[in-house]
Structure 1
Amino acid sequence: LTTDPVLGINLWQTYLSRELPAAVDAAYGSTGKRGVAGLSMSGGPALDLAIQAPDVFDAAASFSGCPAPSNPFATAGISAMIAGGLNNPFNMWGLPGSQGWRDHDPSLNVERLRGTAVYVSSSRGAPGAVDRIPDGAVPPFGGMAVEAMVNYCTSIFVDALRRADVPATVSMRDEGAHTWPLFEDQLREAWFTTLAPALGTS
């Protein structure tokens, strides 16, 4: 929405939902079936891309993402993370609470996911076997905190799906501390339950 003094205007939605698929089709060909998936900070946006471009994506998945960005607690966390990288979090959708944040909040737009194969997963943040943490290693306290936060966001999204009776594969876990092994396990589960069938590759 706003020009960044360093980065200018980045039209990521246009690139990911229009330009990139067209380039891939032109270079390699395709079946016309497409999916989008994201982990952590890209999990919620992956679902949002499917909402904004339902004609492009047949499936969408979020691995420990935050698909409820306009929730005040989530907005604060997202804004702090972006600002921590010396970026302006309000360049993308305007001020918190504005229509832009609501328009790109999957939890407020679940009806637009009807007909899309959806997978969503998060954990309470407790480390477990899925994280494959070496014996004697310091627990990933930062990841534990982040996972607990995204679990809160994901729960809001899942509740909205259920209220609207929009089908989805939901994997809410007791263990997982926002680690790469957790994301790998979520990706494997999403592929076999949701993505591959929707893309016709199962």
Structure 2
Amino acid sequence: MSGLTVLDQTSTGAGVLELRLHSPALGREAAATVLTPRGWRPGDHATYPVLYLFHGSSDDHLAWTKHTEIVALAAESDVLVVIPSAGRMGFYTDWKVTDREGTVPLWETFHTVELLSLLEREYGASDVRMAAGLSMGGYGALRYAIRKPGLFRGVASLSGFAHITRPGMASLLGLLAIREGMRPGLIWGPRRHCAENWAANDPYVRAAELAGTKVYLAAGDGHRTSGEEFVPGMGLMERYSRAISDDLATRLVEAGVDVTTNFSPGVHFWTNWRRKLTEFWPYALDVLEAGK
């Protein structure tokens, strides 16, 4: 498998690069936003710690820059922030079957092999890394940290669905798949027939394997804060995410994992995540600075 190819690179603002890529792992084009820090220069000099920021389901790599202050935060830091595409229901997994785009997408390989190599070769990325994401992206960050021990110094899940074998989760994921025009059960197989594979991909089940990695968990409680938008179903969704995050935090403490929690009011939508990102940012910088 040859490497990732940059088909086009466009500067869309100060410190903002939009990359159009061809990925052999995906068998098609992909995209990534690269937010460059002050004084950034390209090359293979391994200067900049990297924050990989993952988006949620039914969304794309542009959502973080559209809805939060991540561009301004990155510009005032010494950190390279990379926001790759991950499919509307890719779930940060190397698939075994074709998706609705007509290829078999190897999302984990794209993110942790192809993209990582490109960033270190051409964009000054160092081997000091942290992964963070929201909702589906929070799951992805935790999954990658478990699957690739030592790849990340820290990992963060904001409103993440990090317990896929929890009662009710298969039904929720099935509904999300149908909304995206997909047949349920494509990613890890049908739940009733592939329970072992679901467990193997469940961060809650494998929580003890995060030992040695700093973990940050944030979630709302399903109640809107002052000025927060009403989005049908997102209060219930966040209550579920909060219960999962609570359970995971308890399991991590029992396993002796270094875990920090940030639980407060908010629903499963951008006003909450915008606030959570701002609160998480100093923690991320501390983890990345300590790794330099």
TM-score category, normalised to shorter length: 0.7 to 0.9
Unaligned runs of 5+ in 2: 1-94
User: Structure 1: 5+ residue runs without aligned partners?
Assistant: none
Of 180, 183, 188, the match for 2:273: 183
What is aligned with 1:154?
245
Counterparts in 2 of 1:128-139, with a 5 A limit? Answer: 128-129=225-226, 132-133=227-228, 139=230
Residues 220 and 272, structure 2, Cα contact 8 Å, conserved in 1: no
Matched residue, 1:61: 156
Q: 8 Å contact 1:69–1:153 — kept in the other structure?
A: no
More helix by share: 1
Summarize the Cα distance change of 1:145–1:5 in structure 2 as closer, same or farther, 3 Å threshold: closer
Which range moved further: 37-46 or 93-102? Answer: 93-102
Paired AA for residue 231 in structure 2: P
Alpha-carbon spacing, 1:55–1:178, altered in 2? closer, same or farther (3 Å): same
Query: Is 2:119 the counterpart of 1:29?
Result: no
Length-normalised TM-score, structure 2: 0.62
Match status 1:115 vs 2:115: no
Distance 1:35 1:198 in 2: 8
Higher RCO structure (Cα 8 Å, ≥6 apart)? 1
Aligned residue in 1 for 2:199: 102
RMSD: 1.9
Runs of 4 or more above 4 Å deviation: none
| 1:163 match | 254
Structure 1 residue 62, shift from structure 2 partner? 0.7
Query: Which position in structure 2 is the counterpart of 1:4?
Result: 98
- Please tell me whether residue 198 in structure 1 is matched to residue 292 in structure 2: no
Residue 89 of structure 1: how far off its partner (Å)? 3.5
Question: What are the residue-to-residue correspondences of 1:29-48 with 2, within 5 Å?
Answer: 29-48=124-143
- SS at 1:170's partner residue? strand
| Structural mapping, 1:67-86, within 5 Å | 67-86=162-181
User: Any conservation in 2 of the 1:124–1:151 contact (CA below 8 Å)?
Assistant: yes
- Give, in whole Å, the separation in 2 of the partners of 1:5 and 1:17: 20
Tell me which structure has the larger Cα radius of gyration. Answer: 2
* TM-superposition CA deviations, 1:172-201 (whole Å, max 9, x none): 22x1012212112211222212x2122117
Identity %, equivalent residues: 26
Match of 1:144 in 2: 235
Superposed CA deviations along residues 131-154 of structure 1, whole A, max 9, x for unmatched, are: x33xxx7x3332212111211222
SS at match of 2:127: coil
Is the contact between residue 142 and residue 156 of structure 2 (CA under 8 Å) also seen in structure 1? Answer: yes
2:224 maps to 127
Would you say the 8 A contact 1:74–1:153 is kept in 2? no
Structure with greater strand share of residues: 2
Q: Distance in 1 between matches of 2:155 and 2:183?
A: 27
Deviates more, 1:45-54 or 1:93-102: 93-102
- Partners of 2:169 and 2:245 in 1: CA distance: 10
Superposition deviation, residue 69 in structure 1: 0.8
